[in-house]
Structure 1
């Protein structure tokens, strides 16, 4: 009876974008009909090796033996097609759920051009989405939304981010770790739900990411499979240039999950040394004066409950591994003149005074962020998740300049080589800006 039903569906064309697989029950009787879809889902964008290269990634439930993106300049009629690759991803859970993750790179796109696109194969196509390429060169003013710790439950900031993105407010999004809560949960179904949720943002704006502690399961396999970031072929760390900014993404988690070995930690640190040294060369700082890093767990915190950031206790990220003090990042970032460091992990927003080795190095009493003498750190982990808000310490440290545990996210506008503007959006207060400040620097480079 099942086979006759399937045959009738095929004849009537009702299974154009799906395939039926018969699975036996516990008595080995073929009773359950499992429909495996070819329809693209979880569509999201990222920058490629430069800003005129866009990587389109999506998933299907079954192999389509093809990965194609059709795209066209807005208001034009001639569509182009580019093919890419796909990989089978098997989740590490008990059910070993399988999906096929597709990747297509659109190269040599025109600057400041709006494109429309869809993705898929002859077995099924996505809806038509759009994106706009940035200007060429370094002399323009990118705008970004930056946040961490957003799950598929209690994703308080998502609707506002969707609206912002649809209005064209951002040139990119940066998600500073912790997705879905968790991507591997329920045999990766929660990860699928989250990727579908953010599609109304990430299919329109490059969605740049770094891993958090909630991505750890099965050696970060869900994170690594789902996101395609530029550079070294492993999305755990990479960098890219955007206008006057050199962005550096790294993994704080290599300092904590030694059950996967220490090789990732040593490789990342060596890469960070090379990348920051090159970015800090005088000729490169002349073109792209700002260096901004982002990683999940912070060096400094304003709460008492986190085992890895408790009061004056050292963090591995800041000073390095216990006792040996190897691979610490604060000295490295200080040496190479990192201007701003974004973190998340704590479910609140905190702006720090310029800080190095627990000491405040303001530019001056009147203008602390004008020519500061140390990096500025921002913790933005309040986008919304099922773990809710984080409490602050009863006695806040002296380096805490501003704090809020409203749900929300951070905006960054790089006006030029000397001025950055930041503001914190409160979703609790209907989009009100609860904090804003300028960073002004006449000269960029090492603080030493």
Structure 2
């Protein structure tokens, strides 16, 4: 055999191996989208293992790919032992036509993805959004995911709200669990805006997996709270977890509180509330629940509800009343629960016959039963009077904002093969602050998992087996 023949075979083998691995390492994956700063924008996000030096989206209406947009990429180093590296790409499509289906493909000159598609929202406020909502979805026991994927393909939804807790956990196995989860949700998340908030299972390494993988409007994933509008609704995505990891300091808690109040003040200007009469919040840990697990929402002095115990600083419930929040959506408990309208643990129904018509306080629901490896959180045998309906079935919540006055909710049971097990219509003939004295939240001395003193001096650090931080005001964005 001639030396030249050996060299030829070696080069041929090298080319074959390279061709396979180049496709793998530069191949775009984990594609997902979010609404941009306005409804004519769409944020397109994907990952590659290696740096491609460019981030490109080819897109167009009617199945065409005749437009191109470029964006940026960020090097993401997982905090695990392997310090695995990948690159997160972000491109914002702007000037999109309303109510139009766009095809798109993502990647670079080293390789493009398969073709995906999304449909833009109608123009303006006078349309009726349909949304699927759930939290606590893992890549093990993701029982609701197949049904959601089928319904998404049928065009049943305009957006998804994932109310915290992803993958269980995204950081595990040096973030490979997070990679697998993002691949699992790609059929959903590449088709419509997949809007998120952080949960407790995202806390590792300063929430780095959450803050690097997802991109929300105005970079809301970095500070972990943001707002967006959708038809007649203004949504506020909130970071309840800032309350439960005070080693990151009081500064982000105070910053978020001020942002919530400023955002609600702006939303309540007459011209803004006329356009977006519904104000809906979503955050991971509830203010109210009836589960038998000693979580924060089972306590009389819930941190999310009343803020710093004893002094009651920076709690959210009074803000929700003061500025007329209509609906608060939560998860964390692996169950579904619908509350009567409630404030300070007191039922505030509109009337005896029509409790959800012109209620005197916000309505709360908990939808954390999408399915994960931690199974269910059982309920107490003696629920509080503000609990209207409870279920341990795996499932998710559908919301249809019919118009400026009517909002419909229903709970889908995956255990019962898609049967509707609960439904409610919220009627608000006018929107705005609730006409009820904003009394101080009634104090009660019961144990709270995380104890604070004024201005965030963290005590009871032993409860989490961590030493108190040297600087409770530190907040480092990685």
TM-score, length-scaled by structure 1: 0.93
Question: Quick check: 2:141–2:373 contact (8 Å CA) kept in 1?
Answer: yes
**1:17-56 matches, cutoff 5 A:** 18-19=21-22, 37-56=25-44
Instruction: Indicate yes or no: 2:319 matched with 1:332.
Output: yes
Choose 368-377 or 318-327, whichever is displaced more. Answer: 318-327
Instruction: Indicate yes or no: 2:290 matched with 1:302.
Output: yes
Change (3 A) 1:171 1:275: same
Q: Which runs of 4+ in 1 moved over 4 A?
A: 3-7
Aligned to 1:72: 60
Instruction: Indicate yes or no: 2:95 matched with 1:108.
Output: yes
Q: Residue 287 of structure 1: CA displacement? A: 1.0
Deviations 1:51-78 (A, max 9, x none): 1100000000000111000001014x46
Larger helix share, 1 or 2: 2
Deviations 1:218-249 (A, max 9, x none): 01000000000002542510000000000000
Instruction: Indicate yes or no: 2:259 matched with 1:271.
Output: yes
Q: 2:164 aligns with which of 161, 170, 177?
A: 177
Question: Quick check: 2:290–2:387 contact (8 Å CA) kept in 1?
Answer: yes
Instruction: Indicate yes or no: 2:205 matched with 1:226.
Output: no
Question: Quick check: 1:16–1:123 contact (8 Å CA) kept in 2?
Answer: no
Question: Quick check: 2:101–2:120 contact (8 Å CA) kept in 1?
Answer: yes
Distance (Å, rounded) in 2 between the aligned partners of 1:301 and 1:7:
65
Distance (Å, rounded) in 1 between the aligned partners of 2:375 and 2:202:
18
Aligned to 2:381: 394
Aligned to 2:250: 262
Distance (Å, rounded) in 1 between the aligned partners of 2:44 and 2:27:
15
Instruction: Indicate yes or no: 2:185 matched with 1:198.
Output: yes
- Secondary structure of the 1:214 match is helix
Aligned to 2:473: none
Structure 1: 5+ residue runs without aligned partners?
20-34
Question: Quick check: 1:363–1:370 contact (8 Å CA) kept in 2?
Answer: yes
Q: 1:140 aligns with which of 127, 139, 161?
A: 127
Aligned to 2:19: 16
Q: Residue 6 of structure 1: CA displacement? A: 8.0
Distance (Å, rounded) in 2 between the aligned partners of 1:92 and 1:5:
42
Q: 2:401 aligns with which of 411, 414, 423?
A: 414
Q: Residue 444 of structure 1: CA displacement? A: 0.4
Distance (Å, rounded) in 2 between the aligned partners of 1:73 and 1:16:
32
Question: Quick check: 1:318–1:330 contact (8 Å CA) kept in 2?
Answer: yes
Aligned to 1:22: none
Change (3 A) 1:218 1:431: same
Q: 1:163 aligns with which of 128, 150, 160?
A: 150
Deviations 1:189-232 (A, max 9, x none): 00000000000100101100000000000010000000000025
Instruction: Indicate yes or no: 2:233 matched with 1:253.
Output: no
Question: Quick check: 1:57–1:104 contact (8 Å CA) kept in 2?
Answer: yes
Change (3 A) 1:36 1:204: closer
Question: Quick check: 2:334–2:369 contact (8 Å CA) kept in 1?
Answer: yes
For these two proteins, the number of residue pairs brought into alignment is 428
**1:283-294 matches, cutoff 5 A:** 283-294=271-282
Change (3 A) 1:6 1:346: farther
Distance (Å, rounded) in 2 between the aligned partners of 1:347 and 1:4:
60
Aligned to 2:202: 215
Give RMSD over aligned pairs.
Answer: 1.6
TM-score, length-scaled by structure 2: 0.87
Q: Residue 36 of structure 1: CA displacement? A: 6.4
- Secondary structure of the 1:201 match is helix
Distance (Å, rounded) in 2 between the aligned partners of 1:259 and 1:193:
30
- Secondary structure of the 1:15 match is helix
Distance (Å, rounded) in 2 between the aligned partners of 1:135 and 1:431:
28
Distance (Å, rounded) in 1 between the aligned partners of 2:147 and 2:433:
38
Aligned to 1:94: 81
Distance (Å, rounded) in 1 between the aligned partners of 2:275 and 2:137:
34
Q: Residue 5 of structure 1: CA displacement? A: 9.0
- Secondary structure of the 1:188 match is helix
Question: Quick check: 1:17–1:123 contact (8 Å CA) kept in 2?
Answer: no
Change (3 A) 1:123 1:232: closer
Deviations 1:373-408 (A, max 9, x none): 000000000000000011000111111001111000
Question: Quick check: 1:36–1:62 contact (8 Å CA) kept in 2?
Answer: no
Aligned to 1:24: none
Change (3 A) 1:299 1:16: same
- Secondary structure of the 2:313 match is coil
Distance (Å, rounded) in 2 between the aligned partners of 1:7 and 1:420:
65
